[in-house]
Structures are given as structure tokens and as C-alpha cells.
Amino acid sequence: MAERAKPGKIKKVAVAGGKDCFEDLPEHVLELLLSFLPSRDAVRTSVLARRWRALWKSVPALRFYPFQFESAKAFNNFVYKLLEHRDRTSPLLQCDIIPYQKGKQAEAHRDVESWVRYAVSCQVSVLRILNWGFHHSSLDLSSSSVISKHLTVLELYNLVFDKSPLDLLSCHALELLEIGDCSINLLGIFPKSLRHLKIRDSYLYSMQTPWSCLSAPGLLTFELADPHDWAPFLESLPSLVTSFIRIGEDCADNYACYNYLRDSGNESCEDDCCVLLQGLAGATNLELISECSMIFRKDLKWCPVFSKLKTVLLNEWCLTANFTGLLYFLQHTPILEKFTLQLPARKDFDIGSSGSYNPAEYFLVSKHLKVVEIHCSKEDEWICQIVDILGIHGVTSAQISIEHDSWSSFRFSFQQPK
């Protein structure tokens, strides 16, 4: 038989087990803990005890996630009720809004716009409007709705803004801006506070010029991936440290070059200014990926010098036209330490032959260069050709590292800002 516990011992265990582990925590700490929950779960804690009944009203974060609701009506009713009863005198540090994916878009637009304006009126610091979901359609917002001098982080996904410019210059505290899958007239003069900028799969347009102009004096990291329409003109990025640029097939610059080549038979498609590379010339770390060999090559004709560049990654665009891009970066990067070539699984472009390679002038690579990495699927004849040409300009075999990667494991080393 099991030994019967002593009465005193039973009482001691009961007291210890019945103590509320949150009992000694001050209310502002409990409110902070609740801020990590979806808003619906934060409200549900009101049934735990008398002390918890009104805590949700002062939580410093609003997280409107539709996944727990069966209908758009139920989700919207909850959000409006929460905003109605929330203590507006309490600080609001963060607001995440994910619209319900089913329902009338016009109604969704009015609802989300109203919630965004509420958050801005409460001087929110971190604002995320993420229109996620499969087979979803974009959501319309007015450009003025997201403007606030108190914002430090602004993330926008799958939104269409009205034709008025999104002018963020007055957002004096803004440090991080992320734009994904949006259509936006971006007035690209940013405040000095902006440190990190990410633009992915988006239409950036200007009512005055074919492209948007970006000027960000305090920018440290910049990511531009697969822009639709025209690539933005980079005007002034004097503080830039790290940048990742990937120009996909949907970029209008590609079509312009293809059409020029088709109509004139001349590859010297040029703009009246350097679109991307001049603005990137002060960076320390660069990754330049393009599916069109001409978009970066035409910028090189403006002769930017990358005086601070220490690491660079290029893909096959730099090998066309007698290795124009490859040799240009080796020659115009005086303190370069690491050069990486990310090459496709197949040779589907013409890079000429080593026998025909005859540079106009010989030069030696930077004395700081430590390694040249070549990532390819297999070591083919044309890889040996690249190695030979590197050797002509002073790159020794000991400095060259060839890594056999499959095309499916294409790697980008761009680090997301924390």
C-alpha cells in the first residue's frame, strides 16, 4: 500500500500549488507580457482573475490576426470593440494588422484605413500592415494614412496606395522601412534617421519621371529585389555599408534595352545618368544580381569608383561583352578583399574565348584581395577560361576557390538588419 501522506505536508503542497505566479508582478510588467499575444488572446485573459479584467485595455501592442476568426464580420467586430474600449491614454508601441482575406475589398479598405489611423493617432512606433494570404488581391490605402513623426518601423505588404506621393520625409524617427509587393508613388527623399530599407517585388513609380529617385543620407543597408516597372534612380546614399540588388526579368529597364538592341542592333543602351551603381559606389559590401546583362553594364559606362568596397558578389552578367563587369570591378575596387562569382548551372550566354581576350590595358588587382570564390555546378572549360583571365591580372591560383553548388542552392549572403 502507498504510504499515507502526513496532513501538514498536504497543506504545504496545496498552498504552494495555489499561488499565482504573476501575483507579485506589477501591472506594467503584466501589460508588457500580454503585448506578445494576439490581441484576441490578450482580451481573453480578462477572465483569469479580478486583477486581469482591465489589463488588456492598456496593453502597449495591438496584434490584429484574423486566423482565429471564422468570418470577416466577426474579426472586424472584435477589432472595433477593442478599439472602442481600449485606454487611449496608454502608450501604443506596436500595431500589426493582417486583414481578413475573404470579403469585399472596399469594406476591407475602409476598415484597415480606420485601424491604421487609430494607431497613428496613438503615436505608434512600430506599424506593420501585412496583406498576406494565397490568391489574395491587393488592398488600397491612402498615402497620408501611414505618415507619423513617431514611427520607427514601417512594414507594408501587398498594398496599393493612391496616386498622391508617399512622402516619408516628415517621419523623423523612422529607422526601418520594408515594402513588399506594393504599388506606390514613393517620394524617395527619406529622413536622416532611416537606417534600413528593403523593397521587394514592387511597382515604384513617379508622376514626373519614368523612375523614382531615392535619396537617404543615413541609410546603412539597402535591399532592392525584383522591382517591377523601372528600377529606382539612386541619388545619394553616402552612409551605405551593405546592399543587395537583384534585377529580375520584370524590370522595365530590361525591356528598354532589349527593344533598343532589336531596333538599332547596338548594345550601347544608355540612360542620361547612372541609375544604380553611382549611388552604391560608397558601399562596403555589395551583391549585384541581374537576369539582364545590360542593366549594370550601361551604368559602368559612367565610371563609378568603389573606393570603400571590401566584398562583392556578382552573377553571370559580369562575364558578357568580353568580361566587362568582372574586370571593371577588379580594376575599380582599390581595397577589395573578397570577390565572389555566382554562376548558373549551364553556359547559356556568350563570353567569348580566352584566345580572343585582349584587354585595352593591363592592370593588377588590389593587393588587399585575399580570395576569389567561384560558385558553379561543375568545373567546366569556361570556368578554366575565367581562371586564366584572372591570372592575367595577378590573381594567383592560391587565391581562387571553386565551389560546386547546384543551381537550386543559390545562396545570397545579404544579412537582414536586426
Read out DSSP for 79-127?
A: HHHHHHHS-TTS---EEEE---SSS-HHHHHHHHHHHHHHHHHTT-SEE
For the chain, the farthest-separated pair of C-alpha atoms sits apart, in whole angstroms, at: 99
Q: Nearest 10 degrees: CA dihedral of 247, 378, 387, 365?
A: 40
Q: Quote the CA–CA distance of 143 and 84 in Å, as a whole number.
A: 25
Decide which of 164, 193, 219 is a domain's last residue: 164
Specify if 108 maps to a domain.
Answer: yes
Q: Quick one: pLDDT at residue 362?
A: 82
Residue 271: inside a domain, yes or no? Answer: no
Which of 133, 164, 195 terminates a domain? The answer is 164
Whole-number pLDDT of residue 207 = 60
The residue among 105, 139, 164 that closes a domain is: 164
Instruction: Give a yes or no: residue 224 inside a domain.
Output: no
Residue 167: CA count within 13 A, CB half-sphere = 6
**Vertex 359 angle, CA 356 and 364, to 5°:** 130
Q: Where are the alpha helices (DSSP H) in 132-197?
A: none
Residue 213: φ, ψ to 5°: -105, 130
Q: What is the pLDDT of residues 272-315, one digit of tens each?
A: 788 999 999 999 999 999 987 678 988 999 999 999 999 999 99
CA distance 270 to 256: 10
Our count of domains for the chain comes to: 2
For residue 85 the three cell numbers come to 474600449
Q: Which three cell numbers stand for residue 387?
A: 581562371
> 3-state class of 59 per DSSP?
coil
Task: Please give the C-alpha separations between residue 239 and each of 173, 196, 218, 282, 339, in angstroms, as whole numbers.
Answer: 17, 11, 6, 7, 22
Q: CB 210: neighbour CB atoms within 10 A?
A: 13
Q: What is the pLDDT of residue 244?
A: 98
What 8-state DSSP symbol labels residue 170? Answer: T
Contact 37, 43 (CB under 8 A): no
Q: What is the distance between the alpha carbons of residues 41 and 37, in angstroms, rounded to a whole number?
A: 6
Task: Give CA–CA dist 61/34, Å, rounded.
Answer: 8
The residue type of 129 is: I
Query: What angle is formed at CA 244 by the lines to CA 330 and CA 95, rounded to 5 degrees?
Result: 160
State how beta strands 285-290 and 311-314 pair.
parallel
Residue 280 lies in a domain: no
CB 179 within 8 A of CB 130: no
**Distance in angstroms (rounded) separating the CA atoms of residues 351 and 362:** 19
pLDDT of residue 101: 76
In a domain, 362, yes or no: yes
| pLDDT (0 to 100) of residue 406 | 56
Q: Which domain holds residue 41?
A: 26-164
Whether residue 222 is contained in a domain is answered as: no
Instruction: Identify the pLDDT of residue 130.
Output: 95
Q: Is 320 helix (H, G, I), strand (E, B) or coil?
A: helix
* Dist. CA 50–CA 372, nearest whole Å: 66
pLDDT, mean of each 10-residue run, the chain (418 residues): 49 51 85 95 93 94 94 94 95 96 69 96 97 71 95 96 90 97 90 97 76 89 92 90 92 61 50 86 96 84 95 93 90 96 68 57 90 85 86 93 64 41
Amino acid at 89: T
Q: Which pLDDT score is estimated for 136?
A: 55
Read off the pLDDT of residues 317-329 as tens digits, 9 standing for 90 and up: 998 888 889 999 9
336 neighbors 307 (Cβ within 8 angstroms): no
For position 54, what pLDDT does the model report?
Answer: 92
In a domain, 95, yes or no: yes
Q: In this structure, is residue 176 part of a structural domain?
A: no
320-331 helix and 381-392 helix, angle to the nearest 10 degrees: 40
